[in-house]
């Protein structure tokens, strides 16, 4: 029985590993948000369920500190970080990068919000964001951007998330999202603030 279970687990893991970019759709609005305990840039644990009990969450999944589009997006988000904090909304940036690389991104962007390491792609998988870039794409990232995905993530699978933003209310329900397989397209500050206004947090 144990061997059957292990075989099934391997089969499911392999099936997920075969996910292509066009088969990724992201969790839809109205879904109960999966919230886990992840490491911050200091290596300490942060329970997102406990954080959500204190108020809404704005979760931003990004590819890595090596990605110029991610860098620009997080720098832009810093412009509304204080406003979100005043509304009781916790802004959390999540990437499949070890804590030392989270710290690099925080320093590069000057961000004051929370950064978390999604080890083994747990949340990235749960939000239906994980895909395997082509071998040619991974080689390009490594040679041109210095992004060795295995080293950065501590995981040899070399998956990446589709960059996405999820607004989760205090009940743990996804109320708004931005999802686009084109990594150059990111959530805009205006649309985030518009979505927040609909939560009536004032």
The per-residue pLDDT for range 10-58, each reduced to its tens digit, is 334 434 453 678 889 999 999 999 999 999 999 999 999 999 999 999 9
Looking at the domain assignment, is residue 7 inside a domain?
no
Looking at the domain assignment, is residue 112 inside a domain?
yes
Report the Cα 138 to chain-centroid distance in Å. 19
Residue 19: count of CB within 10 angstroms of its CB: 16
Q: In this structure, are residues 82 and 137 in contact, taking their beta carbons and an 8 Å threshold?
A: no
The per-residue pLDDT for range 150-195, each reduced to its tens digit, is 999 999 999 999 999 999 999 999 999 999 999 999 999 999 999 9
Determine which helix (DSSP H) or strand (DSSP E) holds 95, and give its type and residue range.
Answer: strand 90-95
Looking at the domain assignment, is residue 1 inside a domain?
no
Looking at the domain assignment, is residue 152 inside a domain?
yes
- CATH code (residue 36): 3.40.30.10
Residue closest to 93 by CA, chosen among 77, 107, 104 = 77
The pTM of the full predicted model, rounded to 2 decimals, is 0.90
Q: In the chain, pLDDT over 70 holds for what percent of residues?
A: 90
Looking at the domain assignment, is residue 139 inside a domain?
yes
Q: What 8-state DSSP symbol labels residue 128? A: T
Q: Is the pLDDT reported for residue 6 higher than 60?
A: no
Q: How many angstroms separate the CA atoms of 38 and 35, rounded? A: 9
| CB neighbour class for 86 (10 Å; exposed up to 12, middle 13-18, buried from 19) | exposed
Looking at the domain assignment, is residue 202 inside a domain?
no
Looking at the domain assignment, is residue 168 inside a domain?
yes
Place of tokens 């206004």: 197
Q: Structurally, how many domains does the chain consist of?
A: 1
Burial 96-108 (b: 16+ CB within 10 A, else e): bbbbebbbbbbee
3-state SS assignment for residue 89: coil
What pLDDT, on a 0 to 100 scale, did the predictor assign at position 202? 58
Residue closest to 125 by CA, chosen among 169, 162, 71 = 162
Residue 68: count of CB within 10 angstroms of its CB: 9
Identify the domain containing residue 107 by its residue range.
20-194
Looking at the domain assignment, is residue 126 inside a domain?
yes
pLDDT band at 73 (very low <50, low <70, confident <90, very high): very high
């Amino acid at each position: 029985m144990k061997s059957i279970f292990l075989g099934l687990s391997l089969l499911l893991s392999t099936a997920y590993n075969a996910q292509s970019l066009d088969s990724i759709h992201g969790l839809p609005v109205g879904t109960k948000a999966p919230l886990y305990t992840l490491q911050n840039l200091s290596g300490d644990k942060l329970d997102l369920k406990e954080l959500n009990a204190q108020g809404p969450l704005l979760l931003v999944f990004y590819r890595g500190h090596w990605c110029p589009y991610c860098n620009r997006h997080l720098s832009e988000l810093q412009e509304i970080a204080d406003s979100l904090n005043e509304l009781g909304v916790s802004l959390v940036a999540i990437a499949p990068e070890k804590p030392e690389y989270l710290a690099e991104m925080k320093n590069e962007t000057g961000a004051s919000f929370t950064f978390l390491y999604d080890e083994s792609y747990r949340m990235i998988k749960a939000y239906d964001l994980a895909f395997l870039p082509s071998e040619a794409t991974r080689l390009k990232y490594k040679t041109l951007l210095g992004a060795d995905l295995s080293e950065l993530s501590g995981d040899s699978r070399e998956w990446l998330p589709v960059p996405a933003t999820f607004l989760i209310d205090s009940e743990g329900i996804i109320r708004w999202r931005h999802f686009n397989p084109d990594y150059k397209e990111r959530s805009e500050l205006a649309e985030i603030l518009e979505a927040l206004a609909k939560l009536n947090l004032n």
